[in-house]
A and B are shown apart, each in its own frame.
Chain A
């Protein structure tokens, strides 16, 4: 039977593994990096060979020693242990941002696409206004209201990312809404909520997953930047962004290793998420007839 090009977003017809295979070696490599980072995020604290918060000032900016393969930071703490312990907050923050902005963004996109008309116009222009605020600005605002910390940073970025998510998904939702099977179900008397939950959103899922993946990378960079500015995760808690911030002086003093390894971890994970996200996004694009 000839495979016909069908409109709509139809990645979901393949198995998860099949989709991953189709993203090519770069996609698979990225997935491996992401899996490793996720593993460390969950078990990193347990794997840390030393207490990540125990500082021995005598060892400040001392290079790799036996039992301390990455050496010590400016306060004499074991860099490897801080890296492993910091994986948790470094990954949890972006995860929270992604979950909130995808959930709210999907809700707004689908409801706007469903009701169209005035409601859609209000939602779309409201999102356009939000678009104008950069995430960092919102983070500063949130920090002054809620006090600096991970929660404020996560809320600020979630608000900043939601319009982005909603705009991309609204297009997909409109496309799916225009499919004749949706009209057929409306004529059958099915409710809007059941059509959206059982048909619209599942058909948009590949695009939603791709969006979430790309967003995760952005959120990680932005959260690291916010922590670097001192508005996010607060020292002495271990976090990759905080580690770069804490060890700035080391960079100036000619000992960049602690800041560098934290930076490499961020770059690796962010690039992996972006590459995988882009590949998934390409695959989620509607096939052209």
Chain B
């Protein structure tokens, strides 16, 4: 039996009195794809940030490629090694690239960080990565400002892949893209998974995107996992009330929005 490539156990995060993440556990297997579904404030993005080390868990353990990463890296070497284990692509294509850096230089910077290659090797790899995500040589030399949102998101994906990670976290990575571009990027992500043994953790509120990209789903609500299972089962026959409500809220042909008829109280409560 193979080891999970990413294992999260009993993860907890509090901000003062606020319990943002409470007892979250899941595993991702090599080549597998797991969705974390939930709405804003469900804690799904906090989980992602803890996995990549941008937030420190209050309690619980995170293991990637068999190594613990629950506490901050102690050395430069360890920090970079963690970078080669798990990578992330964020939501906003407009701030995810340094405006002063060409695509080429952004990719080269990451390659230099991880691989002891000479200039020629890195140059070749930059072109390969560009090809993998569908950017031509002209776009590789361009500054972010002359690229569209979809193209920038491809660059962000290429930059994450430059570290040759085992796990790629996609944090609402296609949410801000136009429908026609979103489809291109979703197809690209599927191709990359076919060609490599990479695993995905897809963080999304968009159930159709989740259906397209993942096999397993966990549903988060108020910091906890309220439902988990194979994606088709969770979406077609949701068990938890919240999942049912989420599923029923998705616009589709013949859908009519319904009022929940609940009184609203509490300052920010919804």
Which A residues contact B (CB, under 8 angstroms)? 1, 3-4, 6-8, 10, 12-13, 178-181, 183-191, 198-199, 202-203
Contact = CB atoms under 8 A, between A and B. Distances in A.
B90 interface: yes
Contacts of B99: 6, 8, 10, 12-13, 203
Contacts of A12: 99-100
B95 A6 contact: yes
Given A179-B96, A189-B83, A189-B114, 19 more contacts: A4-B145, A6-B95, A6-B145, A10-B100, A180-B91, A183-B88, A183-B90, A185-B109, A186-B53, A188-B83, A188-B87, A188-B110, A188-B159, A188-B163, A189-B73, A189-B76, A189-B80, A198-B109, A203-B100
25 contacts: A1-B146, A1-B148, A4-B145, A6-B145, A8-B95, A10-B99, A10-B100, A13-B143, A179-B96, A179-B98, A180-B90, A183-B88, A183-B90, A185-B109, A186-B53, A187-B53, A187-B88, A188-B83, A188-B113, A189-B76, A190-B109, A190-B113, A198-B109, A202-B100, A203-B99
A7 B86 CA distance: 27
Contacts of B114: 188-189
Interface of B: 52-54, 73, 76, 79-84, 86-88, 90-92, 94-101, 109-110, 113-114, 143, 145-149, 156, 159-160, 163
B82 A189 contact: yes
List the 3 closest pairs (A to B, CB-CB), nearest first.
Answer: A189-B83, A189-B80, A189-B79
A189 B95 contact: no
B64 to A, nearest CB: 12
Contacts of A1: 146-148
A8 B144 CA distance: 13
Nearest to B90: A180
Contacts of A7: 94-95
Given A187-B53, A189-B113, A203 B92 contact: no
Contact of A179 (B95, B143, B159): B95
Contacts of B82: 189
Given A13-B100, A179-B95, A184 B156 contact: yes
B46 to A, nearest CB: 13
A4 B94 CA distance: 9
A15 B81 CA distance: 38
